[in-house]
Amino acid sequence: MYFPAYRPRRLRQSENFRRLIRENSVSIDDLIYPLFVVPGKGIKKEIPSMPGNFHMSIDILIEEVKKVRDLGIPAIILFGLPEDKNEAASGAYEESGIVQEAVRALKKGVPDILVLTDVCLCEYMSHGHCGIVKDGQVLNDLTLELLAKTALSHVEAGADMVAPSDMMDGRVAVIRSTLDENGYQGTPIMSYAAKYASAFYGPFRDAAESAPQFGDRRSYQMDPPNAMEALRETMLDMEEGADIVMVKPALAYMDIIQLVKSETCYPVAAYNVSGEFSMVKAAAAKGWIDEKKVVMEILTGIKRAGADMILTYHAKDVASWLK
Ligand code: PBG
């Protein structure tokens, strides 16, 4: 009769054994909750493709962020939907822009939570691209100026950290030097460093009304088959002054999270994007999966891959389960 000397099952026999040898876990400390702010008053409108997520006016947003803070979540990230869009994306950087107003109100009304802002132009451009368009091309260097202006206006309003998501070349450097020149040397940048041209952003583009009106984002966001390029992108952003580097999306890019974590010594964020969220919600609504177990398994997997923090629409649910 053969008896294995080493039996992995010995250490799986009870929850307390399993707890002792557990290698990774999700904590409330890891979570960043994305929120969508709109002009107006008293507005709380559910985003159809993202159940449980809302377009909120600033007054409602304040109450929501208080709840998020009370759950112990350390940070939110804000996306704005402007009153109108144009070809200069002026809503992105004007002092009275929706994100700027929201940040001011949040910093006044809700202490003890970090307010991050997504820095991009697509929500503010009439054509929905992340940069200035001429003759059908998204222009890199002209766009940098607007991105820097946008980031500065967020920080002037009180943002604790800015997160450029546009994927223009050189934007971290331009944002870093603009912030420094204006006395904001202490404000960190979380760059969307390895951001892929992904179909998983579909529900977000409904939520942010930011789908490109022509073409797609493949001339600036990364080509999904590439991994080494993600390292080049990440290292560039680090040289340019990024403090935290992000991989986005998360699920189909777990290898990239692992690669970036092992090849750099920087804090790594992963964005568990809208499509990843909505697929779980849809299957759960059909009764096909156990939502809580699946969400925890996904987020634990993202942590195991190497993420230090996760931007996720599940954050509130997860925090309440962990409490
Ligand atoms: C803006 C931006 C996008 C997301 C975050 N910032 C959309 C895009 O690049 O098209 C996607 C977030 C999500 O899908 O949850 N550029």
In a domain, 65, yes or no: yes
In a domain, 179, yes or no: yes
> 25-64, pLDDT tens digit by residue?
999 999 999 999 999 999 999 999 999 999 999 999 999 9
Q: What is the atom index within ligand 1 of the atom nearest the CA of 200?
A: 14
Write out 130-195 in H/E/C secondary structure.
CCEEECCEEEHHHHHHHHHHHHHHHHHHCCCEEEECCCCCCHHHHHHHHHHHCCCCCCCEEEEEEE
Choosing from 210, 251, 310, 313 the residue with most ligand 1 atoms within 8 A of its CB, the one to mutate for a pocket test is: 210
Task: Give the separation between CA 24 and CA 8, rounded to whole angstroms.
Answer: 18
The answer to whether residue 193 scores a pLDDT higher than 90 is yes
Burial (0-12, 13-18, 19+ Cβ within 10 Å), 215: middle
In a domain, 284, yes or no: no
Q: How far is CA 61 from CA 67, 98, 136, in A?
A: 10, 12, 36
As annotated, the active-site residues are 195, 248
Q: How far is CA 1 from CA 4, 8, 9, 295, in A?
A: 10, 19, 19, 43
Burial (0-12, 13-18, 19+ Cβ within 10 Å), 235: middle
> How many whole angstroms from its chain centre is CA 56?
18
Identity at 296, one-letter amino acid code: M
Domain containing residue 198: 24-246
In a domain, 154, yes or no: yes
In a domain, 229, yes or no: yes
Beta bridge partners of 203: none
CATH of the domain at 70: 3.20.20.70
Q: How many domains does the chain have?
A: 1
> 211-253, pLDDT tens digit by residue?
999 999 999 999 999 999 999 999 999 999 999 999 999 999 9
> 130-173, pLDDT tens digit by residue?
999 999 999 999 999 999 999 999 999 999 999 999 999 999 99
Collapse the DSSP code of 323 into the 3-class scheme (helix H, G, I; strand E, B; otherwise coil) and give the result. Answer: coil
> 265-312, pLDDT tens digit by residue?
999 999 999 999 999 999 999 999 999 999 999 999 999 999 999 999
Pocket of ligand 1 (CB under 6 A): 118, 120, 122, 130, 165, 201, 204-205, 210, 217, 273-274
In a domain, 42, yes or no: yes
In a domain, 183, yes or no: yes
Does an H or E element contain 31, and which?
strand 31-37
- Tell me the average pLDDT of the chain: 97
In a domain, 318, yes or no: no
Task: Give the separation between CA 189 and CA 12, rounded to whole angstroms.
Answer: 42
Q: How far is CA 212 from CA 55, 128, 136, 155, in A?
A: 20, 4, 12, 27
Q: What is the atom index within ligand 1 of the atom nearest the CA of 272?
A: 15
The answer to whether residue 206 scores a pLDDT higher than 90 is no
> How many whole angstroms from its chain centre is CA 140?
22
